[in-house]
Amino acid sequence: MEGIIKREFIIKGLHCANCAAKMEGRIKEIDGIHNASIDFVGKRLVLEYQNVSDGERIIGEVKDTIDKIEEGVEIVERKIAPIVEEEEDNEINIEILKLLGALAIYVAAIIFKSNGLIRLCMFVAAYILSGWEVILGALKNISKGQLFDENFLMTIATIGAFAMGEYPEAVAVMIFFNIGEIFQDIAVDRSRRSIKSLMNIRPDHANLVVGKTVEQVSPEEVRIGDIILVKPGERVPLDGTVVKGEASMDTVALTGESVPRMVKPGDHVLSGFIAKDKMITVRVDKEYSQSTVAKILDLVENAALKKAPTENFITKFAKVYTPIVVFTALGIALVPTMVYGFNTFSQWIYRALIFLVVSCPCALVVSIPLSFFGGIGGASKKGILVKGSNYLEALNNIHTVVFDKTGTLTEGVFKVNEIINEGEFDAEAVLKYAATAESFSDHPIALSIREAYGKDIDSSVIKYHEDITGKGIRVKTESGEILVGNEKLMEAEGVSYRKVEANDTIVHIAVEGKYAGYILISDKIKKDSADTVKALKEAGIKNVVMLTGDNKTTAIKVKEELNLDEVHYELLPHEKVEMLEKIKREKKEKGNIVFVGDGINDAPVLTMADIGVAMGGLGSDAAIEASDIVIMTDEPSKLIEGIKIAAFTRKIVWQNIILALGVKLAVLIMGALGFANMWEAVFADVGVALLAVLNATRIIKNQ
């Protein structure tokens, strides 16, 4: 939306995923906020609002909202935020020391049995040392009216156990609750760093040539036209053109491909490439903010903000889960007591306290976003950029895959096979007229015609040039009008032409209204196209379709060679959009429509599809802009890899949902029946959360 202001903040001191979900919900309710999203894994808050004048008021209200939910949490605008990992490591170390001290006092109290008062004091000391921050947080939350906070519920549960004389159990629950929280924080932090390491492609510095010296500077300081050196083993810091030297480039960080790429003067190199063997000199073509690396990192980081339906469901579920469990606990404490008598009160209170310990949905709120973030990070490592968790999840429910032909299923590298002349025109003249007409075009077919002609073209003879979308080109020269294009162009201009059936692309040429002949141009099917179509069908995808502007004969040949279900040919760009609309209308079963194209000529179709996949996006701004998923290479088989990553991510997500809800439900039932104690309750809370986080890390390790 035009006029929307977007600001990004780093969040410091936020360790509670459930609190993050609450913050996001409350911030969205602030007047003037257009949208807000908290990425707990990436520790980021993104705010969108419309009026510049509301900015300071909104930021103030956001800070107040965050403070009410979890005091001590800070937000710092990203451009000025310092690195906080080391500070947080120190915080965790202090917490570990406190818990070790509490554990030592607790063990001493268990062993020391002679004096009841001293023993009680030792238990109280261990309890306060291990749970002081939990208790303090609970008191603050009570003053803010937040009774469904984990700190408050854990405090009530353990104080309740103290009141019942269960001192060892109350202290043990608090100690092991905090131990579990620390392990969970460490696991989440390591997972976060592992995911970031998957995309560790940001260059540290640039070797800037200044006169006869070389200075090591930040990539952000380099400007377009500057000359930089890239030494063996270094990353290319900015997109540019090689002006001196030859080197073998490792492109695996961007493309996922291990085969090195040779570059020489005149070749383009992208930031993120690594020079393997020799030094090259590069002229910078783009500033760092517009470089390939910057765009990829921005895309991957922002992907976590576009949440999958499963994530949104878990957030909504978390809002009702805790109140339901707490009120059920209240019912367990009061109703049976009224039925069976007050002498059973302590028994039912204990069972109710178990419910309170199990009432936090942290296992789900932490592990589900972490799973999706891991899947997105893993996909990016393989050269598949997914713009959001919603698109990653959508890959699990595909009904139809629609491919563009040229450059997607075929190589898009054309070659003139044959020139057929007619009437007074010879073959060389036909080729010359075609090359002259195509002299301003960058289309692959135009390039193949000019390459076949192989001579310099005097484009100054062209007085008028018109690109007729979906048909061809009309130019006017000193010697007359030239038409170069398909059958539709000849028919539209009233030119009598020869109808030809051929497996190649047919380009007709007419000069001054007279038919001069045609050129046959071939394109080769990519080596992995057939395997991709086969794998899609084996994956249960109902319909694999191809759209092309090419002629019927060529289209049918590709269809038969690749075993496609449908092919639609001789389509103009707007007709491809209409055909995709028709495919969506006629789809009888549920499922997503995926369109795979080159991201440039197919932008409208990419936008219309449920999932738009742009292939060959390496260095293409248009591809990154128009699509939902960008495949950085020209291999259609990468789509299969993306689907497999999506399937594995979904598997982990559902394992965590079943694990968390299953264990919590089992402990709740056992607690209500009197078969569980607080130890099981603590495991169902922090233990399950830790297991879910560790399970989520399998996605990262799988990459």
pLDDT, one tens digit per residue, over 138-197 is: 888 777 777 777 788 888 888 888 888 888 888 988 888 888 788 877 777 777 776 666
Contact 559, 546 (CB under 8 A): yes
Q: Is 587 within the bounds of a domain?
A: yes
Q: Judge residue 586's burial from the number of C-beta atoms within 10 Å of its C-beta, 0-12 exposed, 13-18 middle, 19 or more buried.
A: exposed
Q: Check if 404 is active-site.
A: yes
pLDDT, one tens digit per residue, over 298-317 is: 887 778 778 889 988 888 88
Sheet containing 33-39: order of strands: 33-39, 44-49, 5-12, 74-77
Same-domain pairing of 396 and 532: yes
Q: Is 646 within the bounds of a domain?
A: no
The pairing of strands 280-284 and 268-269 is unpaired
Q: Is 218 within the bounds of a domain?
A: no
Domain boundary among 17, 49, 82: 82
For residue 150 the two structure tokens come to 């984990």
Q: What is the CATH number of the domain that holds 593?
A: 3.40.50.1000
Contact 597, 548 (CB under 8 A): no
Same-domain pairing of 613 and 683: no
CA distance 661 to 361: 9
Number of domains in the chain: 5
Q: Is 216 within the bounds of a domain?
A: no
Same-domain pairing of 472 and 515: yes
Q: What is the CATH number of the domain that holds 245?
A: 2.70.150.10
Whether the per-residue pLDDT at 587 is higher than 50: the answer is: yes
Same-domain pairing of 104 and 176: yes
Contact 519, 502 (CB under 8 A): no
Contact 352, 651 (CB under 8 A): no
Same-domain pairing of 139 and 96: yes
Read off the amino acid at residue 452.
A
The average pLDDT across 604-616 equals 89
Q: In this predicted structure, what is the pLDDT of residue 600?
A: 62
Whether the per-residue pLDDT at 544 is higher than 60: the answer is: yes
Q: Is 470 within the bounds of a domain?
A: yes
CA distance 177 to 174: 5
What percent of the chain clears pLDDT 70, i.e. is strictly above it?
Answer: 94
Backbone angles phi, psi at 565, to 5 degrees: -80, -40
Catalytically annotated residue among 149, 226, 250, 404 = 404
Does pTM top 0.85 for this prediction?
no
Domain boundary among 29, 49, 82: 82
Instruction: Tell me if residue 235 falls in helix, strand or coil.
Output: strand
List the alpha helices (DSSP H) in 341-458. Answer: 345-357, 362-381, 389-394, 427-437, 444-453
Same-domain pairing of 180 and 317: yes
Whether the per-residue pLDDT at 480 is higher than 80: the answer is: yes
Q: In this predicted structure, what is the pLDDT of residue 95?
A: 80
Name the more confident of 94 and 575.
Answer: 575
Beta-carbon contacts of residue 182 (< 8 Å; ≥ 6 apart): 92, 95, 96, 99
* Res. 556 pLDDT band, cuts 50 70 90: very high
CA distance 489 to 482: 12
Same-domain pairing of 406 and 449: no
Same-domain pairing of 122 and 254: no
Instruction: Tell me if residue 663 falls in helix, strand or coil.
Output: helix
Q: Judge residue 3's burial from the number of C-beta atoms within 10 Å of its C-beta, 0-12 exposed, 13-18 middle, 19 or more buried.
A: exposed
Name the more confident of 601 and 674.
Answer: 674
pLDDT, one tens digit per residue, over 74-94 is: 898 876 444 445 455 566 778
Same-domain pairing of 461 and 424: yes
pLDDT, one tens digit per residue, over 487-536 is: 999 999 999 999 988 888 899 999 999 999 999 998 889 999 999 999 99
Integer CA distances (angstroms), 481 to 46, 354, 517, in order: 57, 88, 15
pLDDT, one tens digit per residue, over 647-665 is: 999 999 999 999 999 999 9
Contact 353, 153 (CB under 8 A): no
Domain boundary among 522, 545, 570: 522
Q: In this predicted structure, what is the pLDDT of residue 83?
A: 45
Q: Judge residue 114's burial from the number of C-beta atoms within 10 Å of its C-beta, 0-12 exposed, 13-18 middle, 19 or more buried.
A: exposed
Q: Is 369 within the bounds of a domain?
A: no
Residue 243 DSSP symbol: E
Same-domain pairing of 532 and 658: no
Q: Is 275 within the bounds of a domain?
A: yes
Contact 314, 364 (CB under 8 A): yes
pLDDT, one tens digit per residue, over 52-68 is: 888 899 999 999 999 88
Integer CA distances (angstroms), 411 to 190, 555, 565, in order: 41, 15, 21
Name the more confident of 149 and 680.
Answer: 680
Same-domain pairing of 515 and 537: no
The pairing of strands 5-12 and 611-615 is unpaired
Helix (H) or strand (E) holding 59: helix 55-69
Contact 356, 144 (CB under 8 A): no
Q: What is the mean pLDDT of the chain?
A: 87
- The residue segments making up the domain with residue 240 are 223-286
* Res. 1 pLDDT band, cuts 50 70 90: very low
Q: Is 548 within the bounds of a domain?
A: yes
Same-domain pairing of 611 and 661: no
Q: In this predicted structure, what is the pLDDT of residue 199?
A: 62
Q: What is the CATH number of the domain that holds 502?
A: 3.40.1110.10
For residue 295 the two structure tokens come to 């765009």
